[in-house]
Structure 1
Amino acid sequence: MEPGSVPISSEEKMMRTQVGIVGAGPAGLMLAHLLHLQGIESVIIEARSRQYIEERVRAGVLEQGTVDILNRTGIGERMRKEGLLHHGIEIGFQEKRHRIDMTDLTGKAVVVYGQHEVVKDLVNARLGSGGKIVFNVEQVSIHRLNDEHPVIHFSENGTLEQLHCDYIAGCDGFHGICRQSIPEGALTVYDRIYPFAWLGILADAPPSQEELVYANHERGFALYSMRSPKVTRLYLQCDPAEDIANWSDDRIWSELLTRLIGVDGWQPNQGPILQKSVTPMRSFVVEPMQYGRLFLAGDSAHIVPPTGAKGMNLAIADVRVLAHGLAAYYKSGNSETLAAYSETCLRRVWKVQRFSWWMTSILHRFPDANSFDQRRQTAELDYVTSSEAGARSLAENYVGLPLNLANELAG
């Protein structure tokens, strides 16, 4: 047996691939799809079932760049039919709504299309092309990250397996094992916990208007959104320790109407609440986003507050950079682009963190804010909604900053 190799017992199976991907969320699935288009082999392992990942409802505002890459790589057909194209957003404060026309300001737009729908489309494409996804795995661990051939150990249906690969992509989320497998001290962690959370609901009610409304109110932030032509998605700022059991449907609707109704009388349509939950808010980044032959992508490397609608978009941007670097390596043996993965991603990550923090800071009521802070916040909202320069900056960030990858695959 060669030095540093992993012994294989008679009860273990061994597989070999070029890129081992841990996690079948948008990041892992999109990475596998991009690699497939370049002729690069990969295997995805996922701790949950296919049904679970396809039904796990998450936010779904897609930046222009995310829409473009889905279309260019053959994944966008259902999105084009069912997604809701949005050319602007509205910001409400002091009982008035102000529209930011993103398309007029930037020439771009966003599409509302649920994350679980993107996952369904990517899973179908993956399995339809003969790609491998191993669901319901257990006992996942990763080894030999500094060797030429790192190894992923896992159990499938009680059988221990080893996946030998050239590189590992850690796309397994904030609580996944990949980041935790990096030696202590190798990463610098930046973390911020916000003093509020979002109480979110899905309502069986058709949207009462076509664009999102972000509302700053003396009782706290509220957001009107949608998931489909028949289902509305709404959020309320609340305490992080809030017990969802204390929020009856009537109480939720009463609070939403209080915070969203303006002088023009507009209000969201009401209907049965299909789902409700409380989501804490935080900002989180680790640097670097790579260690040896392991590359972190998506929530395993960073978390943003949902105010700017950036979570999935940032994950997709990460794997576009990673796929670009891997393609260059396998095509020519040049590893410079791959070695720059973390630096390239982090430039965009921190810009997105800045925007998400800024959106959060101007729209939410902070517990320790005084009258000066509140007047300054109102002035910021007034500037953004009355200045073309201010509105353009918001719109540019909201529709998505450019990735600028030279010679990125076109599908």
Structure 2
Amino acid sequence: MRTQVGIIGAGPAGLLLSRLLALRGIDSVVLENRSREYIEARVRAGILEQHTVDTLTEAGLGDRLRREGLEHRGIHLQYPGTRHTLDFPELCGRTVWVYGQTEVVKDLVAAQLDGGPPLLFDVSDVRPEDVDGDSPRIRFTHADGSPQVLECDVIAGTDGFHGVSRPVVADADGRLWERTYPYAWLGILADAAPATDELVYAWHPEGFALYSMRSPSVSRLYLQVDPADSIDNWSDDRIWANLSRRLSLDGWDVSTGPITEKSILPMRSFVSAPMRRGRLFLAGDAAHIVPPTGAKGLNLAVTDVTLLATALTRFLQEEQTDLVDAYSDTALRRVWRCTHFSWWMTSMLHRSGDDFDAQLQLAQLQRVCSSEAAARELAENYTGLPIE
């Protein structure tokens, strides 16, 4: 097999990269070690920055997003007795959309299989080779059991933290920064109409809570829990009682309903640098992970592949190396900005430490709620900073 860009991993980063390259006349093949059913069922992020929505729309993937997604013009910040609204269009002229990553992947897969570049599911034994030379290749085993070799001009590693691409880059004097947080999120999906117009980020003495949604009839909610806790310890009644207590506000109640999914998500950050080795380029979770508090994970992946698609097009069509040479540094500047924002939001809202720390958190929240400059800083970062 022969292609210009071999893409390892059919998450949103890999699929969108393939789509963007195809629109610019660049051939690719996407390899995925899971089934279509598996990748379309993974529940992940749900907040899309303005740039992400614009990118998907320009790539011909915006119809269902615009029809079924929910545009949001702000968020509510809450601490006991107070709920304050940040109006994003007023503060920075942008909005965000609630549209689950699961739905983004479904849209991307459908487009890929409808006359798009090859997308191979259930492959195994994937190995990128000769990435330091001019003719890299990917060895893998096809779903039918036959060994295959995919000859490429370049390889994109979009296969996540546990994939095969990141270690290849790290082996060439790469560096990894990591932060594990002392708390986790217990997340649920519930068949309950949201009781709020915008997301509620709530600080509470017992721990953080987030009220989000996936549709006019489905709520997505989170509770701060101990990372060593087990989902078996959390009955539906206990979950609703904690959500009601942490999100309580006079004259307002949480909408309850059947819980259809629940899980515990550890909170951590990692950044791997560089994001390139020779002709192997990393994007998305293969290069960085952020805690979900700042809603940056999927959006960072979209930014990565937007930059990478432009750089690879210039390289493969014009034989110019300036953008591919700058890719890692350019992407990492935004990665660290978003990593800082995610850390800041997480540190401000999650209970840890003693009562002194709690008062510092409340002081920061009160500052954001009372200062237009502080509120604008949050709004600009949350809705997405411009891409270089």
TM-score by length of 2: 0.98
Counterpart residue number, 1:114: 100
* Corresponding residue SS for 1:265: coil
TM-score by length of 1: 0.93
Equivalent residue letter for 2:283: A
* Corresponding residue SS for 2:40: helix
Change (3 A) 1:185 1:39: closer
* Corresponding residue SS for 1:182: helix
Counterpart residue number, 1:201: 188
Instruction: Show the 5 A alignment for 1:274-285.
Output: 274-285=260-271
1:255 aligns with 2:242: yes
Cα distance per residue 1:76-129 (max 9 Å; x no partner): 010000000000100111231100001111110000001011111111111213
Distance 2:85 2:267 in 1: 26
* Corresponding residue SS for 2:215: coil
Distance 1:183 1:109 in 2: 37
Counterpart residue number, 2:379: 395
Counterpart residue number, 1:83: 69
Distance 1:117 1:377 in 2: 35
1:143 aligns with 2:129: yes
* Corresponding residue SS for 1:348: helix
Distance 2:113 2:101 in 1: 18
Counterpart residue number, 2:278: 292
Counterpart residue number, 1:386: 370
**Structure 1 residues without counterparts, runs of 5 or longer:** 1-14, 405-411
Q: Which residue of 289, 300, 303 corresponds with 1:317?
A: 303
Counterpart residue number, 2:112: 126
Percent identical: 57
Cα distance per residue 1:199-229 (max 9 Å; x no partner): 0000111111221000000000000000111
Q: Which residue of 368, 371, 375 corresponds with 2:359?
A: 375
Counterpart residue number, 1:216: 203
* Corresponding residue SS for 2:160: coil
**1:370 CA drift (Å):** 2.4
Distance 1:63 1:175 in 2: 26
Distance 1:239 1:183 in 2: 31
Cα distance per residue 1:160-201 (max 9 Å; x no partner): 000010111000011111112235352111000000000000
Q: Which residue of 59, 79, 83 corresponds with 1:73?
A: 59
Cα distance per residue 1:287-333 (max 9 Å; x no partner): 11101111010000000000001100000000000001011112311
Instruction: Show the 5 A alignment for 1:328-347.
Output: 328-347=314-333
Counterpart residue number, 1:243: 230
Distance 1:360 1:266 in 2: 25
* Corresponding residue SS for 1:108: coil
Distance 1:326 1:268 in 2: 48
Distance 1:94 1:130 in 2: 51
Alignment RMSD:
0.9
Moved over 6 A (4+): none
Q: Which residue of 173, 176, 201 corresponds with 2:160?
A: 173
* Corresponding residue SS for 2:53: helix
**Structure 2 residues without counterparts, runs of 5 or longer:** none
* Corresponding residue SS for 1:175: coil
Distance 1:183 1:258 in 2: 45
